[in-house]
Amino acid sequence: MKQFFAFVIMALFPFSAIAQTATKEPEPLIVTATDKVTLEDFMWTARPLIIFADSPKDPRFKEQMEYIEARLDDLRTRDVVVITDTDPAGESPIRQRLRPHGFGLVLAAKDGTILLRKPKPWTVREINRSIDKLPARQEEVRERRDTEAQ
């Protein structure tokens, strides 16, 4: 399993390097396993997108990761951090808190509130729509627009 996460991170590394050279903000998207982080690590700084599966070979998990990899920049501009958990036996703190059954996608707000739970893969476009409806996200867009106008 650790080899799979290393592969995912290595696969995404070139994309983050390209994005970092193109723009100075926002911060790079982080893809990590749940055994290395807690939701509190991202409080007020990022929106955690947690992807659960019973195995990294789960076709729904693979499909979700393909969606994410295809549109990394869209998630990055919305301060999304992708966290994966494909080890139900590991009982990570995030898994214990959210209690998924099989595949699951969970999106949390910057304040830690759970925004949505989905039992099937969602495209990045669908995820972005949910984020863009948030008052906090709308305020971020206004602030960014005001900063660019100056």
DSSP state letters, 45-113:
T-EEEEEE-S-TT-HHHHHHHHHHHHTHHHHHHTTEEEEEE--GGG--HHHHHH---SSEEEEE-TTS-
Is the pTM higher than 0.85? The answer reads no
CB contact set of 74 (below 8 Å; sequence gap of 6+):
124, 125, 128
pLDDT at residue 35, as a whole number:
77
* pLDDT tens string 76-123: 999 999 999 999 998 889 999 999 999 999 999 999 999 999 999 999
* pLDDT tens string 37-87: 888 999 999 999 999 999 999 999 999 999 999 999 999 999 999 999 999
pLDDT band of 26, cuts 50, 70, 90: low
Question: Domain 2-149 carries which CATH code?
Answer: 3.40.30.10
pLDDT at residue 19, as a whole number:
42
